[in-house]
Structure 1
Amino acid sequence: MKFHQLFLAAFHEPKKLAAFRLLPIGRVIRYAFLFILLMTLISFTRFSVGDTDLFEASPELNEYSETIGGLIYPMAFIFQFVIATFYVFVRISIFAAIGIWIGKLMKRRVEYRFVWRTAAIAITVPLLLTIFLDFFQIWETSGIIFSSLFHIGYLIIALKYYPKAAK
């Protein structure tokens, strides 16, 4: 299955979202890295055009940035990529754990590895929502809560299509 098919199915096909648990883990991780790269590029672009006031927050940081000059940009890109990777994979893992709990309440046959894959594909809409809401300062903290509820909702809908647990 191609990435654009995964992307489109993640929006409105919960039965396929549940079936994505059977995808190879490598494909799921590559799909997650597409969003990590998207988040990094948006963050780096905002940093490059001066959208964030990082260096004005501290005189020491401002002095340090002037000392290293142009090296700040590759270092910032790498740093933002590492942070985005950590954020996305921790978020997927936390929601997979929540999905295990919800799946057991729904009396579904759930394994962490399968729920993790479903949570990784289900992060599509919540992550795009987080990126969009990041541009509005009002939604900084409540945007994460809002997108987390979306993620849980997508997981619940997908878990309905998991096989029932044996008695």
Structure 2
Amino acid sequence: MNIFQRFIKSLYSPKDIAKYRFLGIGKTILYVFLLMFLSTLPGLYHFSKMTITALNEGKQIFMEELPPFQIENGNLTSNIKEPFTLQKSDFQIILDPTGKISKQDIEKEGNVVALLKNEFVVVNDRNVQNFPYSALEGMKLQNKDIDKFLSSINGVLWIVLPIVFIIMYLFTSAIGFIKISIFAGIGILFARTFDRNLQYRNSWRITAHCITLPTVFFALMDALKTVVPGGLLINWIICLIFLYLTVREIPKPKVKA
């Protein structure tokens, strides 16, 4: 059975997943990387779309719509006394030289580009990227300099986006492997409860396939930009249910006469 057939079966069939406990570890790891790739695609799409839109509108925004500002010695300064917010069609821009708004304050927002007191932050569907001004040591930036910077970024976007995707993919994959390793241990507990013969390495293999349904579901929700209340809890519950049903499908050891 090839990887795509296993993918389809893993969406609905604990009985078939139970058979994958003897699958080669290399094939299982490849399957996990495929799942993590699929789960990363929606985030990359929305991030790319927002980035391109922001760059295209950036010149007008920084030169005409934002108050004059300056970034020097790791700090943002401006004549405004309160945070300035500019609402665009697909995202929001925040300029805050006062320090009243922190990265944590905007992490819950949808799509935000924020120039905060000490860092530049981009939030895209709960994916947060930040850049501290301290990395610009010795440099002085104003509105017109940002405008030039955006023009240069636009020229190398085809290089930047793949790098961002690789970072997102590696991070998502690391989280996925940790999750599988934790649930594989829970699979051993299920096996002992139901008197099934299951070693950790076999539990790891079936767990890697048990996460398929929640992974695909939440990838679709991300693609549709739909927030699922209690998403993390629902994700874990679905994984546990699939793992529970899969372990029960493993035949009991034969009793010697």
Same fold (TM over 0.5): yes
Q: Does 1:97 align with 2:185?
A: yes
User: Map of 1:16-165 to 2, 5 A cutoff?
Assistant: 16-50=16-50, 53=111, 55-56=113-114, 58=116, 60-61=119-120, 69=153, 70=157, 72-134=160-222, 135-137=225-227, 139=228, 142-164=230-252
**Residues 1:11 and 1:39: Cα distance change in structure 2 (over 3 Å):** closer
More strand by share: 2
TM-align CA RMSD: 2.6
CA distance 1:154–1:81, change in 2 (3 Å):
same
In the alignment, the residues of structure 1 paired with residue 195 and residue 253 of structure 2 have an alpha-carbon distance, to the nearest angstrom, of 6
Do the aligned partners of residues 94 and 45 (structure 1) sit closer, same or farther apart at CA in structure 2, a change above 3 Å counting? Answer: same
Q: 4+ residue stretches of structure 1 with deviation over 4 A?
A: 62-68
Shift of 1:133: 3.6
Gaps spanning 5+ residues in structure 2: where? Answer: 51-89, 91-109, 122-129, 133-145
Q: Gaps (5+ residues) in structure 1?
A: none
Structure with higher Rg: it is 2
Q: What number of residue pairs does the alignment pair up?
A: 165
Cα gap change, 1:6 to 1:57, in 2 (>3 Å): farther
Question: How much does 1:74 deviate?
Answer: 3.0
TM-score, structure 1 normalization: 0.85
Asked if the contact 1:130–1:144 (Cα under 8 Å) also holds between the matched residues in 2, the reply is no
C-alpha deviation, 1:57, in angstroms: 6.7
- Between 127-136 and 96-105, the greater mean CA deviation after superposition: 127-136
User: How big is the shift at 1:21?
Assistant: 0.5
TM-score by length of 2: 0.57
What is the rounded CA distance, in whole Å, between the counterparts of 2:191 and 2:24 in structure 1?
A: 21
Which structure carries more helix by proportion? 1
